[in-house]
Copies of this chain bind each other. A is one copy, B any other.
């Protein structure tokens, strides 16, 4: 959350920050739009400046080709796009993904859209950034099932890739390696922003961008305290919370065996802590939760209100919240399918 904006907002409204109900109980109540601007930020339509490394355009162009190339997997069947489908919500619409040998993964595939705006990657935040993230699915035995050396062998076997890597990493002696592959993929994924959602237009001053019911949903969202976790640009993605703060979720929503962040961070003493998922484009990314077990937004909203906030919502509240969340659907990027080079006699054969 931008600090300066927060301070300004507090000064203007003349109130003291106290949890999520900061604005709700004051005499001189700020407008809903001001409240929204306090909690949320507009999705940028440009890649964040800190991502703009040297030869960024060349890295993006290369990363786009890699993203769609199934030959990064052992079977040469599974690409990044298989589970992070850019025609859909940047995910795959399944509870859990299907990977090598038709094996299923343990968690719901998160969207790649706006993922660069998160503090970390994966449901448990175990990857610091997109560069670290990009390596895991390629070498996971249940996903793409390849290996570092095999990926290098595959890419080095095609002269076009040799040229594209050289252009994207001109300072490297051996431009094609697992690290550069991850860097290029991360550069491409960092461009996958979805600006100009109705909610962004509203944040920027366009009152009519939200319907009356959507505004009521936004008010509920703030008043109920959803903003404690789902805040900032991505309405999530910037903090970790236990799934089950007030009540234990049913096992179908929170399978017993998946302890979340505790499995990967020694310092976490609590079970079932996960990164708060973004609500950006949430209307495109059913099913919900790390378990992919809630198939409608209505169901997800009711469950979350109960287990996180100890609130039983009435149908009107649920409806307005869901309609508000519809306003979080941005403009998905227009992506041209890359033309990939043919395999050569040096390219390892697919194995399946």
Binding site for B on A (CB under 8 A): 68-71, 75-77, 82, 85-89, 92-94, 98, 101-102, 104, 283-286, 295-296, 332, 334-340, 342-343, 345, 349-350, 352
Contact = CB atoms under 8 A, between A and B. Distances in A.
B295 A349 contact: yes
A342 B284 contact: yes
A87 B86 CA distance: 15
Contacts of A283: 342
5 contacts: A70-B85, A70-B93, A87-B340, A102-B352, A334-B339
The copy count of this chain in the complex is: 2
Majority secondary structure of chain A interface residues (helix, strand, loop or mixed): loop
A244 to B, nearest CB: 25
B345 A296 contact: yes
Nearest to A352: B98
A76 B93 contact: yes
Contacts of A76: 92-94
Contacts of A337: 86-87, 334-337
Contacts of A334: 336-337, 339
Given A75-B98, A76-B94, A102-B102, A286 B342 contact: yes
Contact of A336 (B284, B335, B345): B335
Contact of A98 (B77, B342, B349): B77
Contact of A352 (B94, B284, B332, B335): B94
